[in-house]
């Protein structure tokens, strides 16, 4: 059986921001690049993780990516890549001491 749609297109990038834009990042396949807005309003990359540091769990319609930056565990959950949702898409950051913060995400394909 052949399905006519793909849960995560290899050529498409996904850009996400938290609700109040505390965090901003772009996902390219197995590469995640976090950005920060400077005083001029431009975004610049502050942290980038390649495929070796990103663990991906693909699901039928979406995925979860887990990566570590400066000792903090970042878990990015995109429920459905064909229909992004600020309710079901989130970024969860866990500190080395176990404190967890969860941010809803506003995402779109680039």
Per-residue pLDDT 10s for the chain (110 aa) are: 444 444 444 458 999 999 888 899 999 888 899 887 766 665 556 555 655 688 999 999 999 999 998 899 999 999 999 999 999 999 999 999 999 999 999 999 99
The 10 Å Cβ neighbour count of residue 89 is 22
| Residue with the two structure tokens 């920060």 | 36
C-alpha dist (Å) from residue 22 to 6, 8, 105: 30, 25, 11
Decide: 14 and 107 in contact? Cβ < 8 Å. Answer: yes
The 10 Å Cβ neighbour count of residue 82 is 12
What does the block give as tokens for 33? Answer: 């690049």
pTM flag (> 0.75): yes
């Amino acid at each position: 059986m052949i399905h006519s749609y793909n849960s995560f297109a290899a050529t498409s990038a996904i850009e996400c921001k938290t609700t109040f834009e505390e965090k901003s990042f772009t996902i390219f396949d197995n590469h995640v690049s976090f950005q920060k807005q400077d005083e001029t309003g431009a975004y610049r990359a502050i942290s980038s993780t390649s495929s070796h540091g990103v663990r991906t769990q693909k699901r039928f319609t979406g995925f979860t990516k887990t990566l570590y930056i400066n000792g903090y565990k970042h878990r990015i959950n995109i429920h459905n890549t064909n229909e992004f949702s600020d309710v079901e898409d989130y970024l969860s950051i866990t500190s080395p001491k176990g404190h967890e913060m969860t941010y809803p995400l506003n995402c779109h394909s680039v």
